[in-house]
Chains A and B, each alone.
Chain A
Amino acid sequence: MLIFAAKRALTDIVNNKFLHIVSIVTIALSVFIVSAFSLFFNNATDFLDAWRTGVRVIAYVGANVTEPQRTRLEETIRNLNGVSVVEFISKDDAFNDLKQKIGQQSSLLDGLDKNPLPDSFEITLTDSYRRLEDIEKLSQSIGGLPYVEDVEYAQKWLHRFNGIYNLFKVTGLVLVSIFFIATLLIIANTIRLIMYSRREEIEIMRIIGADEEFIKYPLFLEAVAQGFLGGVAGILMLYLAFILTVPNLAPETVFSFFEIRFISVKFSLTIVLCSMMIGWVGCFFSIRKFLKL
């Protein structure tokens, strides 16, 4: 039964080449646009994430802290939730570092009779612990520890960054959703038009005694096949556009810490599955509306 329906669907596709090409192209373009948007926003968020990875919390250690006390402090910090790496930077290291950064003007520092910088710990956070609130909370608990003089974590900058980051995410989500819905409507409408253009053919099939299943099965198979082909074509188009344009953006030289990635296989499969489902749903509703099946 299904094999015959599939066979008929196939002859049907051949017989109605033009209509099928129209709807496959429509689906492919829609999928292309939606997945291009997702590609852009995924990478943009990844980029911001990668940037944020650079955020560290610095804990300054009091001047009169002994070495065993400091070691114990380091241990305590390391055991805090969300801490991944703790690096001790002695005041001498910090001073040398500063000298190097200032370079030629290091003579400026010659006037100092003693190193004004404190010892410090540079704390890197785990990946899951990078939200602003997390950072704030962690800084507070570190600040509350004994022997810790002060805590610093690029507060202002992070606050502003967080705003941009969230705005970006929301905009991305809204845009992708709008395009997704638009795509849904476009595809459903295309299928509707196709069904409408075929209502006479379907009426004829009924007059010669076709039952509902006989008429419906191939239509559903065709709609799902259209969704599949359109989805795959749209993603291939995006991939082609991707490999043609991305190397020219030369990102590795601009942002060494970031690499533009194509949408994941999982996401591609989801899109293809979605477009197959849209085919099915579009078919379902137009059949109900135009064929009264």
Chain B
Amino acid sequence: MDKLKTKIEFDAVSDNEAFARIAAAAFVLKADPLVETMEDIKTAVSEAVTNCVIHGYGNSGGRIVMEMELEKEEDAYIFSVVIEDFGKGIKDVVKAREPMYSECSEEERSGMGFTFMELFMDELTVDSTLGKGTKVCMRKKIMD
């Protein structure tokens, strides 16, 4: 195997947050990651999916697409994941990515979601269009 790919689509409901991170954990098993690396990946995926549920669709449901790739390199695997919603989008991505920035008032949000994604993964890119949706891409190296 040089490259392993998978694509799943699921409803944007809070029940599926656990499903998504467990699916990611199962997908990277092949790379035999350390427990801590596994936890980092699960947390990052959970953040992105939770954001789609709460912010993208305002807790009223929708569609989330998650694509994962595992690529073998010489001394490591590269895990990449794309999590996409087709909801309301983000007006100012730079601001949204700041630590402790949250636009959500009715729930208790700490505004740490993007910060955790950034810290726990090697790379994070966010593409968003108002009224169209948001696409979060993350990569992480898993050492052999």
Partners in one complex: no
